[in-house]
């Protein structure tokens, strides 16, 4: 399926914004355009990219998942508590390879529970995931007793590993984005997600398995949350009670920046990827140019408003307002 004209305009706007802020930062910082810094940007963006890609599927189907940050926390916390070993008298918890499958399985399971709340219990996605956001974080805090857990061993392999000059998480981000883009644009499942988001009633009448699709997309967000959590803890070397805090808003911002409609039925993986890169580039550039700390939120918020305004204008010009969907 080819991108619509509107999506092409949205992608163009994002690319221009990304190029514009990059130029500004490059003019003000000698090291912004250095390869090592670009590598850092890609690595820092990975948890947001992975989360945003999965969140795109959810938002396309008219849903939202506020619990991704809490899933990142709980999935990694439970994997470390279940598989890690802390020798008596040591402050370091040694992790083995089992931490990966356990975290991913827990993450997927938590996402699946979100899907069940929405499909079986018929709870609005916003309310359901608002509830599980608090619930999952509460369990995570209980498991770790809100303490800092320093970790080493296998969990660091992924977060700190390199392949062909790029961090392993970056390769994961690329693989996830490419696979998701192919699924959304080329597969039957992708078309079903778009149809379900565009008009749930029509989708049901044509026999599209609504429950199955919703369960799968929320489980994918859970899986993405676990990947994000593993990446962060692998890099930082510590499991903190703040892990994943605020991730949901960054991820949703990236998706909205990328042009995915909050009303469902349209969206683009490439847009979400660029949205995540734009947010990370701004953070990185502000740091490099030594910006006033009080300007960070102002600039981030301003760029979000600018992007959404341009997107709205583009929609009007294309004669297709978002409200006409569904």
CB closer to another protein out of 205 and 292:
292
**Radius of gyration over every alpha carbon of the chain, rounded to an integer in angstroms:** 20
Q: Which of residues 73-92 bind another protein (CB under 8 A)?
A: 88, 91
Shortest spacing between CB 232 and another protein, in angstroms: 5
Binding of residue 131 to another protein (CB under 8 A): no
Binding of residue 174 to another protein (CB under 8 A): no
Query: Site for another protein (CB under 8 A): which residue of 131, 200, 237, 326?
Result: 237
Shortest spacing between CB 286 and another protein, in angstroms: 8
Query: Site for another protein (CB under 8 A): which residue of 8, 40, 119, 199?
Result: 40
Query: Site for another protein (CB under 8 A): which residue of 31, 186, 187, 312?
Result: 31
Query: Site for another protein (CB under 8 A): which residue of 12, 19, 34, 85?
Result: 34
Query: Site for another protein (CB under 8 A): which residue of 203, 278, 288, 314?
Result: 288
Q: Are residues 49 and 273 in contact, defined by beta-carbon separation less than 8 angstroms? A: yes
The interaxial angle of helices 68-83 and 99-119, nearest 10 deg, is 140
Q: Which candidate, 293, 312, 302, 252, places its Cα nearest to that of 276?
A: 252
Q: Which candidate, 191, 173, 216, places its Cα nearest to that of 65?
A: 216
Query: Site for another protein (CB under 8 A): which residue of 287, 309, 312, 321?
Result: 287
CB closer to another protein out of 243 and 251:
243
Count the site residues for another protein by CB under 8 A: 38
Query: Site for another protein (CB under 8 A): which residue of 46, 240, 272, 281?
Result: 240
Shortest spacing between CB 7 and another protein, in angstroms: 31
- Residues making contact with another protein (CB under 8 A): 29-31, 34, 36-37, 40, 44, 88, 91, 134, 141, 145-148, 150, 160, 232, 235-238, 240-243, 245-246, 283-284, 287-288, 290, 292-294, 296
């Amino acid at each position: 399926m080819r991108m619509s004209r509107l999506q092409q305009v949205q992608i163009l706007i994002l690319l221009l914004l990304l190029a514009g802020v990059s130029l500004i930062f490059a003019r003000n910082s000698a090291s912004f355009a250095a390869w090592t810094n670009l590598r850092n940007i890609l690595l820092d963006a990975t948890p947001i990219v992975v989360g945003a890609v999965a969140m795109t599927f959810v938002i396309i189907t008219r849903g939202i998942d506020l619990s991704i940050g809490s899933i990142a926390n709980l999935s990694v916390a439970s994997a470390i508590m279940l598989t890690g070993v802390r020798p008596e008298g040591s402050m370091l918890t040694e992790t083995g390879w089992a931490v990966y499958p356990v975290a991913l399985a827990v993450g997927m399971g938590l996402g699946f529970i979100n899907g069940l709340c929405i499909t079986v219990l018929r709870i609005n996605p916003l309310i359901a995931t608002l509830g599980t956001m608090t619930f999952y974080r509460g369990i995570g805090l209980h498991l770790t007793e809100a303490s800092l857990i320093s970790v080493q061993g296998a969990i660091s392999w992924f977060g700190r590993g390199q392949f062909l000059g790029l961090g392993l998480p970056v390769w994961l981000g690329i693989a996830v984005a490419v696979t998701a883009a192919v699924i959304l644009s080329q597969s039957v499942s992708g078309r079903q997600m778009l149809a379900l988001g565009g008009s749930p009633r029509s989708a049901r009448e044509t026999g599209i398995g609504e429950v199955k699709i919703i369960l799968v997309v929320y489980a994918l967000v859970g899986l993405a949350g676990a990947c994000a959590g593993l990446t962060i803890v692998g890099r930082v070397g510590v499991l903190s009670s703040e892990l994943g805090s605020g991730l949901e808003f960054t991820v949703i911002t990236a998706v909205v920046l990328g042009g995915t409609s909050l009303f469902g039925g349209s969206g683009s993986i490439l847009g979400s990827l660029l949205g995540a890169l734009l947010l990370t580039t701004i953070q990185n550039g502000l740091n490099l140019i030594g910006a006033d700390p009080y300007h960070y939120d102002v600039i981030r918020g301003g760029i979000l408003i600018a992007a959404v305004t341009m997107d709205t204008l583009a929609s009007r010009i294309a004669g297709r307002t978002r409200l006409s969907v569904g």
